[in-house]
Chain A
Amino acid sequence: MSDANRTNVVGDGLAEVGRIGLFLVAVIAAIPRSLRYLRETVRQIFFVGAMSLVIVMTCGLFIGLVLGLQLYDVLSRFGGTASLGTVVSLALYRELGPVVTALLFAGRAGTSITAEIGLMRATDQLSAMEMMAVDPMSYVVAPRFIAGVIAMPLLACIFNALAIFGAHAVGVTWLGLDNGTFWSNMTSNVDVWTDVMNGVYKSMVFGGIVTLMASYQGYTTAPTSEGVAHATTRTVVFSSIATLALDFVMTAFLM
Protein backbone atom coordinates (compact mmCIF):
# COMPACT_ATOMS: atom_id res chain seq x y z
CA MET A 1 0.00 0.00 0.00
CA SER A 2 2.63 2.52 1.08
CA ASP A 3 4.90 1.14 -1.62
CA ALA A 4 2.32 1.87 -4.27
CA ASN A 5 1.86 5.37 -2.84
CA ARG A 6 5.56 6.01 -3.03
CA THR A 7 5.70 4.94 -6.66
CA ASN A 8 2.82 7.31 -7.34
CA VAL A 9 4.61 10.26 -5.74
CA VAL A 10 7.82 9.56 -7.66
CA GLY A 11 5.86 8.96 -10.85
CA ASP A 12 3.87 12.17 -10.42
CA GLY A 13 7.03 14.17 -9.82
CA LEU A 14 8.71 12.72 -12.88
CA ALA A 15 5.60 13.33 -14.97
CA GLU A 16 5.53 16.98 -13.84
CA VAL A 17 9.20 17.45 -14.81
CA GLY A 18 8.45 15.78 -18.14
CA ARG A 19 5.44 18.05 -18.79
CA ILE A 20 7.53 21.14 -18.01
CA GLY A 21 10.21 19.88 -20.42
CA LEU A 22 7.64 19.30 -23.18
CA PHE A 23 6.17 22.75 -22.46
CA LEU A 24 9.65 24.26 -22.90
CA VAL A 25 9.99 22.49 -26.27
CA ALA A 26 6.56 23.81 -27.32
CA VAL A 27 7.51 27.37 -26.25
CA ILE A 28 10.78 27.26 -28.17
CA ALA A 29 8.95 25.86 -31.21
CA ALA A 30 6.45 28.75 -30.94
CA ILE A 31 9.15 31.45 -30.87
CA PRO A 32 9.51 31.78 -34.71
CA ARG A 33 5.74 32.14 -35.08
CA SER A 34 5.58 34.67 -32.23
CA LEU A 35 7.85 37.09 -34.12
CA ARG A 36 4.68 38.29 -35.87
CA TYR A 37 3.50 39.62 -32.49
CA LEU A 38 6.50 41.85 -31.92
CA ARG A 39 4.35 44.58 -30.39
CA GLU A 40 3.07 42.10 -27.81
CA THR A 41 6.66 41.17 -26.94
CA VAL A 42 7.56 44.85 -26.44
CA ARG A 43 4.51 45.26 -24.20
CA GLN A 44 5.66 42.24 -22.14
CA ILE A 45 9.18 43.66 -21.80
CA PHE A 46 7.51 46.74 -20.34
CA PHE A 47 5.42 44.69 -17.91
CA VAL A 48 8.05 42.23 -16.70
CA GLY A 49 11.06 44.54 -17.04
CA ALA A 50 10.28 48.21 -16.68
CA MET A 51 7.62 47.61 -14.03
CA SER A 52 10.13 45.62 -11.91
CA LEU A 53 12.64 48.46 -11.96
CA VAL A 54 11.59 50.07 -8.69
CA ILE A 55 11.88 46.92 -6.57
CA VAL A 56 15.11 45.81 -8.28
CA MET A 57 16.78 49.22 -7.88
CA THR A 58 15.74 49.58 -4.24
CA CYS A 59 16.86 46.08 -3.31
CA GLY A 60 20.12 46.52 -5.26
CA LEU A 61 20.97 49.67 -3.37
CA PHE A 62 20.30 48.09 0.02
CA ILE A 63 22.17 44.87 -0.83
CA GLY A 64 25.14 47.04 -1.80
CA LEU A 65 24.95 49.04 1.43
CA VAL A 66 24.78 45.87 3.53
CA LEU A 67 27.56 44.10 1.61
CA GLY A 68 29.78 47.15 1.95
CA LEU A 69 29.20 47.36 5.68
CA GLN A 70 29.56 43.63 6.41
CA LEU A 71 32.61 43.08 4.25
CA TYR A 72 34.31 46.23 5.53
CA ASP A 73 33.94 44.87 9.05
CA VAL A 74 35.17 41.38 8.11
CA LEU A 75 38.02 42.59 5.90
CA SER A 76 39.27 45.03 8.53
CA ARG A 77 40.05 42.01 10.74
CA PHE A 78 42.64 40.96 8.14
CA GLY A 79 43.74 44.48 7.31
CA GLY A 80 42.35 43.93 3.84
CA THR A 81 39.81 46.72 3.51
CA ALA A 82 41.59 47.88 0.34
CA SER A 83 40.05 44.93 -1.49
CA LEU A 84 36.49 45.86 -0.47
CA GLY A 85 35.62 46.95 -4.02
CA THR A 86 36.99 43.75 -5.52
CA VAL A 87 35.17 41.45 -3.12
CA VAL A 88 31.85 43.30 -3.41
CA SER A 89 31.93 43.45 -7.21
CA LEU A 90 32.97 39.81 -7.67
CA ALA A 91 30.30 38.58 -5.26
CA LEU A 92 27.68 40.69 -7.03
CA TYR A 93 28.57 39.99 -10.65
CA ARG A 94 29.09 36.27 -10.30
CA GLU A 95 26.45 35.29 -7.76
CA LEU A 96 24.29 37.74 -5.86
CA GLY A 97 23.20 39.96 -8.74
CA PRO A 98 21.71 37.25 -10.99
CA VAL A 99 20.27 35.13 -8.15
CA VAL A 100 18.67 37.88 -6.03
CA THR A 101 17.29 39.57 -9.14
CA ALA A 102 15.83 36.24 -10.30
CA LEU A 103 14.13 35.71 -6.93
CA LEU A 104 12.71 39.25 -7.01
CA PHE A 105 11.71 38.72 -10.63
CA ALA A 106 9.85 35.52 -9.70
CA GLY A 107 7.95 37.39 -7.01
CA ARG A 108 7.25 40.53 -9.02
CA ALA A 109 6.81 39.36 -12.63
CA GLY A 110 6.41 35.57 -12.39
CA THR A 111 3.33 35.74 -10.17
CA SER A 112 1.58 38.27 -12.40
CA ILE A 113 2.28 36.13 -15.48
CA THR A 114 0.80 33.08 -13.73
CA ALA A 115 -2.26 34.98 -12.53
CA GLU A 116 -2.85 36.53 -15.95
CA ILE A 117 -2.53 33.31 -17.95
CA GLY A 118 -4.38 31.37 -15.23
CA LEU A 119 -7.35 33.75 -15.45
CA MET A 120 -7.23 33.50 -19.25
CA ARG A 121 -7.52 29.73 -18.79
CA ALA A 122 -10.27 30.03 -16.15
CA THR A 123 -12.34 32.39 -18.29
CA ASP A 124 -11.82 30.27 -21.44
CA GLN A 125 -9.95 33.02 -23.29
CA LEU A 126 -7.25 30.55 -24.33
CA SER A 127 -9.88 28.25 -25.90
CA ALA A 128 -11.44 31.27 -27.61
CA MET A 129 -8.06 32.15 -29.12
CA GLU A 130 -7.65 28.62 -30.42
CA MET A 131 -11.09 28.87 -31.99
CA MET A 132 -10.06 32.09 -33.75
CA ALA A 133 -6.99 30.24 -35.11
CA VAL A 134 -4.65 32.29 -32.88
CA ASP A 135 -2.11 29.97 -31.29
CA PRO A 136 -1.98 30.87 -27.56
CA MET A 137 1.53 29.43 -27.31
CA SER A 138 2.89 31.94 -29.81
CA TYR A 139 0.63 34.87 -28.86
CA VAL A 140 0.55 34.55 -25.04
CA VAL A 141 3.41 32.35 -23.79
CA ALA A 142 6.33 32.91 -26.20
CA PRO A 143 6.32 36.76 -25.98
CA ARG A 144 6.50 36.51 -22.19
CA PHE A 145 9.33 33.99 -22.41
CA ILE A 146 11.30 36.21 -24.82
CA ALA A 147 10.61 39.26 -22.64
CA GLY A 148 11.93 37.38 -19.59
CA VAL A 149 15.14 36.34 -21.35
CA ILE A 150 15.72 39.94 -22.55
CA ALA A 151 14.64 41.79 -19.40
CA MET A 152 16.41 39.69 -16.72
CA PRO A 153 20.02 40.46 -17.74
CA LEU A 154 19.20 44.17 -17.97
CA LEU A 155 17.56 44.08 -14.54
CA ALA A 156 20.54 42.21 -13.08
CA CYS A 157 22.95 44.80 -14.53
CA ILE A 158 20.93 47.65 -13.04
CA PHE A 159 20.86 45.77 -9.73
CA ASN A 160 24.65 45.34 -9.81
CA ALA A 161 25.31 48.97 -10.72
CA LEU A 162 23.10 50.24 -7.88
CA ALA A 163 24.74 47.79 -5.45
CA ILE A 164 28.22 49.03 -6.43
CA PHE A 165 27.06 52.58 -5.73
CA GLY A 166 25.70 51.40 -2.38
CA ALA A 167 28.99 49.72 -1.44
CA HIS A 168 30.87 52.82 -2.57
CA ALA A 169 28.64 55.03 -0.44
CA VAL A 170 29.32 52.91 2.66
CA GLY A 171 33.00 52.15 2.06
CA VAL A 172 34.25 55.47 0.72
CA THR A 173 31.77 58.17 1.75
CA TRP A 174 30.88 56.85 5.18
CA LEU A 175 33.77 54.70 6.44
CA GLY A 176 36.52 56.70 4.80
CA LEU A 177 38.15 54.16 2.49
CA ASP A 178 40.29 55.80 -0.19
CA ASN A 179 38.31 56.38 -3.39
CA GLY A 180 41.22 55.53 -5.69
CA THR A 181 42.03 52.32 -3.80
CA PHE A 182 38.40 51.19 -4.01
CA TRP A 183 38.21 51.58 -7.80
CA SER A 184 41.76 50.60 -8.78
CA ASN A 185 41.67 47.35 -6.81
CA MET A 186 38.33 46.57 -8.44
CA THR A 187 39.45 47.38 -11.97
CA SER A 188 42.65 45.35 -11.71
CA ASN A 189 40.88 42.21 -10.48
CA VAL A 190 37.53 42.10 -12.26
CA ASP A 191 37.41 40.80 -15.82
CA VAL A 192 34.70 41.58 -18.36
CA TRP A 193 34.31 38.14 -19.85
CA THR A 194 34.82 35.84 -16.89
CA ASP A 195 32.97 37.98 -14.33
CA VAL A 196 30.49 40.47 -15.83
CA MET A 197 29.38 38.31 -18.76
CA ASN A 198 29.25 35.24 -16.51
CA GLY A 199 26.47 36.99 -14.58
CA VAL A 200 24.74 38.08 -17.79
CA TYR A 201 24.57 34.49 -19.12
CA LYS A 202 23.29 33.28 -15.78
CA SER A 203 20.54 35.89 -15.61
CA MET A 204 19.42 35.11 -19.18
CA VAL A 205 18.90 31.48 -18.16
CA PHE A 206 17.16 32.56 -14.93
CA GLY A 207 14.85 34.90 -16.85
CA GLY A 208 13.93 32.02 -19.15
CA ILE A 209 13.35 29.53 -16.34
CA VAL A 210 11.22 31.92 -14.23
CA THR A 211 8.96 32.93 -17.12
CA LEU A 212 8.74 29.28 -18.25
CA MET A 213 7.64 28.12 -14.78
CA ALA A 214 5.19 31.00 -14.48
CA SER A 215 3.58 30.41 -17.88
CA TYR A 216 3.45 26.67 -17.33
CA GLN A 217 1.72 27.03 -13.98
CA GLY A 218 -0.76 29.51 -15.43
CA TYR A 219 -1.34 27.47 -18.56
CA THR A 220 -2.10 24.23 -16.73
CA THR A 221 -4.00 25.70 -13.75
CA ALA A 222 -7.29 24.28 -12.56
CA PRO A 223 -9.87 26.75 -13.97
CA THR A 224 -11.09 27.93 -10.55
CA SER A 225 -10.13 30.85 -8.32
CA GLU A 226 -8.53 28.37 -5.91
CA GLY A 227 -6.58 26.78 -8.75
CA VAL A 228 -5.15 30.16 -9.80
CA ALA A 229 -4.15 30.87 -6.20
CA HIS A 230 -2.32 27.53 -5.93
CA ALA A 231 -0.67 28.04 -9.30
CA THR A 232 0.67 31.44 -8.21
CA THR A 233 2.17 29.92 -5.05
CA ARG A 234 3.73 27.06 -7.02
CA THR A 235 5.29 29.58 -9.42
CA VAL A 236 7.25 31.27 -6.63
CA VAL A 237 8.28 27.98 -4.99
CA PHE A 238 9.28 26.12 -8.16
CA SER A 239 11.01 29.00 -9.89
CA SER A 240 13.04 29.79 -6.75
CA ILE A 241 14.10 26.14 -6.44
CA ALA A 242 14.87 25.88 -10.15
CA THR A 243 16.86 29.13 -10.07
CA LEU A 244 19.05 28.06 -7.16
CA ALA A 245 19.57 24.52 -8.50
CA LEU A 246 20.44 25.78 -11.98
CA ASP A 247 22.71 28.37 -10.40
CA PHE A 248 24.84 25.60 -8.93
CA VAL A 249 25.02 23.74 -12.24
CA MET A 250 25.82 26.89 -14.23
CA THR A 251 28.47 28.00 -11.74
CA ALA A 252 30.16 24.63 -12.10
CA PHE A 253 30.18 24.99 -15.87
CA LEU A 254 31.09 28.67 -16.10
CA MET A 255 33.95 28.57 -13.60
Chain B
Amino acid sequence: MSQRRSYQIGTGLFIVLGFAALGFLATQTTSLANYRQGPTYALQARFTNVGQLKLRAPVKIAGVRIGSVHAIELEPDRLDAKVTLAIDERFKQIPDDSAAAIFTSGLLGDQYVGLQPGGSPDMLKNGDELVLTQSAIQLEELIGKYLVGGNPPSANAKPEAEKTSAPGN
Protein backbone atom coordinates (compact mmCIF):
# COMPACT_ATOMS: atom_id res chain seq x y z
CA MET B 1 0.00 0.00 0.00
CA SER B 2 2.68 2.48 1.01
CA GLN B 3 4.75 1.44 -1.99
CA ARG B 4 1.83 2.07 -4.33
CA ARG B 5 1.33 5.46 -2.70
CA SER B 6 4.96 6.41 -3.10
CA TYR B 7 5.00 5.74 -6.84
CA GLN B 8 1.75 7.63 -7.23
CA ILE B 9 3.30 10.60 -5.46
CA GLY B 10 6.38 10.25 -7.67
CA THR B 11 4.23 10.19 -10.82
CA GLY B 12 2.28 13.22 -9.66
CA LEU B 13 5.48 15.08 -8.87
CA PHE B 14 6.90 14.22 -12.29
CA ILE B 15 3.78 15.42 -14.12
CA VAL B 16 3.61 18.65 -12.09
CA LEU B 17 7.31 19.28 -12.72
CA GLY B 18 6.89 18.60 -16.46
CA PHE B 19 3.98 20.99 -16.82
CA ALA B 20 5.77 23.60 -14.68
CA ALA B 21 8.71 23.38 -17.10
CA LEU B 22 6.35 23.72 -20.10
CA GLY B 23 4.68 26.70 -18.44
CA PHE B 24 8.06 28.31 -17.77
CA LEU B 25 9.18 27.81 -21.40
CA ALA B 26 5.90 29.07 -22.82
CA THR B 27 5.43 32.16 -20.67
CA GLN B 28 8.92 33.32 -19.69
CA THR B 29 11.03 32.62 -22.75
CA THR B 30 8.64 33.41 -25.61
CA SER B 31 6.82 36.44 -26.93
CA LEU B 32 4.01 35.72 -24.43
CA ALA B 33 6.27 37.33 -21.82
CA ASN B 34 5.92 40.63 -23.68
CA TYR B 35 2.16 40.81 -23.32
CA ARG B 36 1.63 43.43 -20.71
CA GLN B 37 -1.76 43.22 -19.09
CA GLY B 38 -1.78 46.85 -17.91
CA PRO B 39 -3.89 49.49 -19.71
CA THR B 40 -2.36 51.12 -22.78
CA TYR B 41 -3.18 54.02 -25.08
CA ALA B 42 -2.65 54.19 -28.83
CA LEU B 43 -0.36 56.46 -30.84
CA GLN B 44 -0.01 56.54 -34.63
CA ALA B 45 3.13 57.05 -36.67
CA ARG B 46 3.66 56.98 -40.45
CA PHE B 47 6.83 55.62 -41.97
CA THR B 48 7.85 55.41 -45.62
CA ASN B 49 9.58 52.12 -44.85
CA VAL B 50 9.20 49.95 -41.74
CA GLY B 51 11.97 47.50 -42.71
CA GLN B 52 11.77 44.27 -40.70
CA LEU B 53 9.64 45.78 -37.92
CA LYS B 54 7.35 43.09 -36.52
CA LEU B 55 4.15 43.12 -34.49
CA ARG B 56 4.76 43.29 -30.70
CA ALA B 57 8.23 44.78 -31.28
CA PRO B 58 9.18 47.01 -28.35
CA VAL B 59 8.72 50.79 -28.23
CA LYS B 60 11.47 52.47 -26.23
CA ILE B 61 12.38 55.85 -24.82
CA ALA B 62 16.01 56.20 -23.73
CA GLY B 63 16.37 52.44 -24.20
CA VAL B 64 13.60 51.60 -21.73
CA ARG B 65 10.59 49.67 -22.98
CA ILE B 66 7.36 51.67 -22.67
CA GLY B 67 5.05 49.75 -25.01
CA SER B 68 4.83 47.65 -28.15
CA VAL B 69 3.88 47.79 -31.83
CA HIS B 70 0.20 46.95 -32.03
CA ALA B 71 -0.51 47.10 -35.77
CA ILE B 72 1.31 47.76 -39.05
CA GLU B 73 -0.83 48.55 -42.10
CA LEU B 74 -0.44 50.20 -45.48
CA GLU B 75 -2.35 53.46 -45.87
CA PRO B 76 -3.96 53.00 -49.33
CA ASP B 77 -4.23 56.66 -50.36
CA ARG B 78 -0.79 57.81 -49.19
CA LEU B 79 1.05 54.51 -49.76
CA ASP B 80 3.01 54.69 -46.54
CA ALA B 81 2.97 52.40 -43.52
CA LYS B 82 0.78 53.38 -40.59
CA VAL B 83 2.14 51.90 -37.36
CA THR B 84 -0.06 51.84 -34.27
CA LEU B 85 1.87 51.86 -31.00
CA ALA B 86 0.33 50.67 -27.73
CA ILE B 87 1.98 52.73 -24.96
CA ASP B 88 1.67 51.90 -21.29
CA GLU B 89 -0.73 54.22 -19.43
CA ARG B 90 2.01 55.04 -16.93
CA PHE B 91 3.93 56.96 -19.61
CA LYS B 92 1.44 59.73 -20.31
CA GLN B 93 4.05 62.51 -20.36
CA ILE B 94 5.22 62.32 -24.00
CA PRO B 95 5.45 65.78 -25.65
CA ASP B 96 3.51 66.12 -28.92
CA ASP B 97 6.60 67.15 -30.90
CA SER B 98 8.41 63.91 -30.11
CA ALA B 99 10.01 62.01 -33.00
CA ALA B 100 9.68 58.30 -33.77
CA ALA B 101 12.41 56.31 -35.51
CA ILE B 102 12.95 52.64 -36.28
CA PHE B 103 16.25 51.37 -34.90
CA THR B 104 18.01 48.02 -34.83
CA SER B 105 19.33 46.71 -31.53
CA GLY B 106 22.85 45.53 -32.28
CA LEU B 107 24.05 44.22 -35.62
CA LEU B 108 21.93 41.05 -35.58
CA GLY B 109 19.25 42.33 -33.22
CA ASP B 110 15.58 43.01 -33.76
CA GLN B 111 14.10 46.27 -34.88
CA TYR B 112 12.23 48.50 -32.45
CA VAL B 113 10.59 51.91 -32.42
CA GLY B 114 12.57 54.52 -30.52
CA LEU B 115 10.88 57.76 -29.39
CA GLN B 116 12.92 60.93 -29.06
CA PRO B 117 11.10 63.24 -26.62
CA GLY B 118 10.53 66.82 -27.77
CA GLY B 119 10.19 69.98 -25.73
CA SER B 120 6.55 70.95 -26.25
CA PRO B 121 4.44 71.61 -23.13
CA ASP B 122 1.49 69.74 -24.71
CA MET B 123 1.37 65.97 -24.24
CA LEU B 124 0.24 63.30 -26.72
CA LYS B 125 -3.20 61.78 -26.08
CA ASN B 126 -4.85 58.53 -27.12
CA GLY B 127 -5.08 58.28 -30.94
CA ASP B 128 -2.67 61.16 -31.65
CA GLU B 129 -0.10 60.94 -34.39
CA LEU B 130 3.66 61.36 -34.14
CA VAL B 131 4.43 63.68 -37.04
CA LEU B 132 8.21 63.50 -37.03
CA THR B 133 9.32 60.04 -38.11
CA GLN B 134 12.43 58.44 -39.51
CA SER B 135 12.20 55.19 -41.46
CA ALA B 136 14.16 52.03 -40.89
CA ILE B 137 17.74 52.10 -42.09
CA GLN B 138 18.12 49.47 -44.80
CA LEU B 139 21.49 47.82 -44.39
CA GLU B 140 21.42 46.57 -47.99
CA GLU B 141 20.97 50.10 -49.32
CA LEU B 142 23.86 51.37 -47.25
CA ILE B 143 26.07 48.57 -48.48
CA GLY B 144 24.98 49.23 -52.05
CA LYS B 145 25.72 52.93 -51.72
CA TYR B 146 29.03 52.99 -49.92
CA LEU B 147 30.76 49.64 -50.24
CA VAL B 148 30.00 48.14 -53.65
CA GLY B 149 31.32 50.43 -56.36
CA GLY B 150 29.72 53.65 -55.16
CA ASN B 151 27.22 54.62 -57.89
CA PRO B 152 25.26 52.38 -60.25
CA PRO B 153 27.09 51.77 -63.58
CA SER B 154 24.89 54.08 -65.73
CA ALA B 155 25.53 57.03 -63.44
CA ASN B 156 29.20 56.07 -63.35
CA ALA B 157 29.56 56.01 -67.12
CA LYS B 158 28.35 59.55 -67.65
CA PRO B 159 31.03 61.56 -65.84
CA GLU B 160 33.68 59.35 -67.38
CA ALA B 161 32.36 60.08 -70.85
CA GLU B 162 32.37 63.77 -70.08
CA LYS B 163 35.89 63.55 -68.78
CA THR B 164 37.24 61.79 -71.86
CA SER B 165 35.42 64.10 -74.21
CA ALA B 166 36.51 67.23 -72.40
CA PRO B 167 40.12 67.40 -73.73
CA GLY B 168 38.85 66.86 -77.28
CA ASN B 169 36.61 69.89 -76.99
Listed in ascending order, the chain A residues whose CB lies under 8 Å from chain B are 42-43, 45-46, 49-50, 53, 78-80, 82-83, 85, 89, 93, 151, 153-155, 157-158, 160-161, 164, 183-192, 195-196, 200
Instruction: Identify 27 residue pairs between A and B in the complex whose beta-carbon atoms are under 8 Å apart, listed by A's number.
Output: A42-B11, A43-B11, A46-B10, A46-B11, A50-B7, A78-B107, A79-B107, A82-B105, A83-B106, A83-B109, A89-B29, A151-B18, A154-B19, A155-B18, A158-B17, A161-B25, A164-B25, A164-B29, A185-B105, A185-B110, A186-B29, A187-B32, A187-B34, A189-B110, A190-B29, A190-B31, A196-B25
Asked if B10 contacts A50 (CB within 8 A), the reply is yes
Asked if A195 contacts B30 (CB within 8 A), the reply is yes
Asked if A188 contacts B110 (CB within 8 A), the reply is yes
Q: Which residue of A lies closest to B6 (CB)?
A: A46
Asked if B33 contacts A154 (CB within 8 A), the reply is no
Asked if A200 contacts B22 (CB within 8 A), the reply is yes
Asked if B30 contacts A79 (CB within 8 A), the reply is no
Asked if A191 contacts B30 (CB within 8 A), the reply is yes
Residues of chain A lying within 8 A (CB to CB) of residue B19 = 154, 157
What does the 1/0 interface line of B31-57 toward A look like (CB < 8 Å)?
Answer: 111100000000000000000000011
From known contacts A80-B107, A82-B105, A188-B56, infer whether A46 and B14 are also in contact, taking CB-CB under 8 Å. yes
Listed in ascending order, the chain B residues whose CB lies under 8 Å from chain A are 7-8, 10-11, 13-15, 17-19, 21-22, 24-26, 28-34, 56-58, 65, 105-110
Please, how many angstroms separate the alpha-carbon atoms of A157 and B34 in the complex?
A: 21
B47: min CB distance to chain A, Å? 19
Residues of chain A lying within 8 A (CB to CB) of residue B65 = 184
Asked if A43 contacts B29 (CB within 8 A), the reply is no
Asked if A161 contacts B106 (CB within 8 A), the reply is no
Asked if A50 contacts B107 (CB within 8 A), the reply is no
Residues of chain B lying within 8 A (CB to CB) of residue A183 = 28-29, 33
Residues of chain A lying within 8 A (CB to CB) of residue B24 = 161
Please, how many angstroms separate the alpha-carbon atoms of A155 and B14 in the complex?
A: 9
Residues of chain A lying within 8 A (CB to CB) of residue B7 = 42-43, 46, 50
- The one of B11, B31, B56 in contact with A192, judged by C-beta atoms closer than 8 angstroms, is B31
B6: min CB distance to chain A, Å? 9
Asked if A154 contacts B21 (CB within 8 A), the reply is yes
Asked if B17 contacts A187 (CB within 8 A), the reply is no
B159: min CB distance to chain A, Å? 37
Asked if A192 contacts B30 (CB within 8 A), the reply is yes
Q: Which residue of A lies closest to B19 (CB)?
A: A154
Residues of chain B lying within 8 A (CB to CB) of residue A190 = 29-31
Asked if A188 contacts B11 (CB within 8 A), the reply is no
